[in-house]
Amino acid sequence: MRVVDTIAELRQARAQLQGLVGLVPTMGALHAGHMSLVNAAREDCDTVVVTIFVNPTQFAPNEDLDAYPRDLPADLAKLEAAGVDLVFTPTPETMYPSNYQTFVEVEKVSQGKEGAHRPGHFRGVATIVTKLFNLTQPDAAYFGQKDAQQVAVIKALVRDLNFPLDIVILPIVREADGLAMSSRNVYLNPNERRAATALNRSLQAAAAAYDAGERHPERLRQTALAVLNAEPLAHVDYVSVADAVTLEELTAPSENPILLSLTARVGLPRLLDNCLLPYSLNTREALTRILGGEV
């Protein structure tokens, strides 16, 4: 496994790669969710490239950029064991030198939900992903359902800017009690860790209502919200019931699959979770096709 941290080394290493190249962009502090993307890329592609970069432009000034968990030695050991070929670990100065002034904005799907709560976040995401696509020129890039609106932003980016690559979406990997794995879960104390299961429990409650025939978006939203509100340590930011293809908020029952997404602060971290409804659509194949539309 080759590890490089400069643009020149990355370009030189990329030029030597043969066959299908799969890219997995990450911010490090790798867990089994990240590794599911790496393993999928390893199965599909001849060469796997992973990037580890805590991207400052996707953090708002009041967010946890400095405190974001970092553990490069442990990350590299996991990637080596998984058979990764090339790892890119640039510094912020390498990606954003002092005269840096170009940003990418994806308009419609960046609005609302995470976009409303994290101003500038998706501009930072779209910019870094564009740069990583240009630098690594992958045939396929792997992302997690966990960041569902990010998936829609990246799919729009790939369509609109004509990147010649496939986007593959992998389902959320969860702890045994249902909590979605996240690098930020390390911030949770034992009580908060127990309370954090309310996010998945609220998705499950709405999924059960959907299975029982409920289709009205507001009633599905209230079903999820009631479970979250019953947990005193969870402070809800939003519960969204949206069209899974367009990500537009639903106000009336729709024939299309639904993206039910929510965020809540539990202790320090803001936690995210989501699912497609019907629940049977939370698979690689369905997510890749449906979430954020076709590439």
Confirm or reject binding of residue 239 to ligand AMP (CB under 6 A).
Answer: no
CB 130 within 8 A of CB 55: no
**CA-closest candidate to residue 152, choices 41, 50, 288:** 288
Q: What's the CA gap between 58 and 27, in Å, rounded?
A: 11
Candidate list 127, 130, 149, 183; residue touching ligand AMP; CB under 6 A: 183
Confirm or reject binding of residue 262 to ligand AMP (CB under 6 A).
Answer: no
Closest contact distance (angstroms) between CB of 12 and ligand AMP is 25
Would you call 121 a catalytic residue per the annotation? no
Confirm or reject binding of residue 86 to ligand AMP (CB under 6 A).
Answer: no
Confirm or reject binding of residue 172 to ligand AMP (CB under 6 A).
Answer: yes
Q: What's the CA gap between 149 and 245, in Å, rounded?
A: 11
Confirm or reject binding of residue 140 to ligand AMP (CB under 6 A).
Answer: no
Number of other CB atoms surrounding residue 20 within 10 Å? 15
Near ligand AMP by CB under 6 A, which window of 11-19, 101-109, 144-152, 186-194? Answer: 144-152
CB 184 within 8 A of CB 69: yes
Candidate list 10, 128, 158, 170; residue touching ligand AMP; CB under 6 A: 170
Confirm or reject binding of residue 95 to ligand AMP (CB under 6 A).
Answer: no
Candidate list 14, 34, 121, 221; residue touching ligand AMP; CB under 6 A: 34
Name which of 7 and 173 has its Cβ closer to ligand AMP.
173
Candidate list 130, 136, 182, 274; residue touching ligand AMP; CB under 6 A: 182
Confirm or reject binding of residue 133 to ligand AMP (CB under 6 A).
Answer: no
Candidate list 27, 38, 152, 196; residue touching ligand AMP; CB under 6 A: 27
Q: What's the CA gap between 184 and 28, in Å, rounded?
A: 11
Name which of 156 and 209 has its Cβ closer to ligand AMP.
156
Give residues with Cβ within 8 angstroms of 272, minimum separation 6: 114, 146, 147, 180, 182, 199, 261, 262, 263
Out of 31, 34, 117, 121, the active site residue is 34
Helix axes 7-15, 121-136, angle to 10 degrees: 50
Burial string for 41-76 (b: 16+ CB within 10 Å, else e) reads: bbeebebbbbbbbbbebbbeeeeeeeebeeeeeebb
Size, binding site for ligand AMP by CB under 6 A: 17
Q: What's the CA gap between 122 and 153, in Å, rounded?
A: 7
Peptide bond into 25 cis (omega under 30): no
Candidate list 180, 207, 247, 287; residue touching ligand AMP; CB under 6 A: 180
Question: What residues line the site for ligand AMP (CB under 6 A)?
Answer: 26-27, 33-34, 36-37, 143-144, 146-147, 170, 172-173, 180-183
Question: Any idea which residues carry the catalytic annotation?
Answer: 34
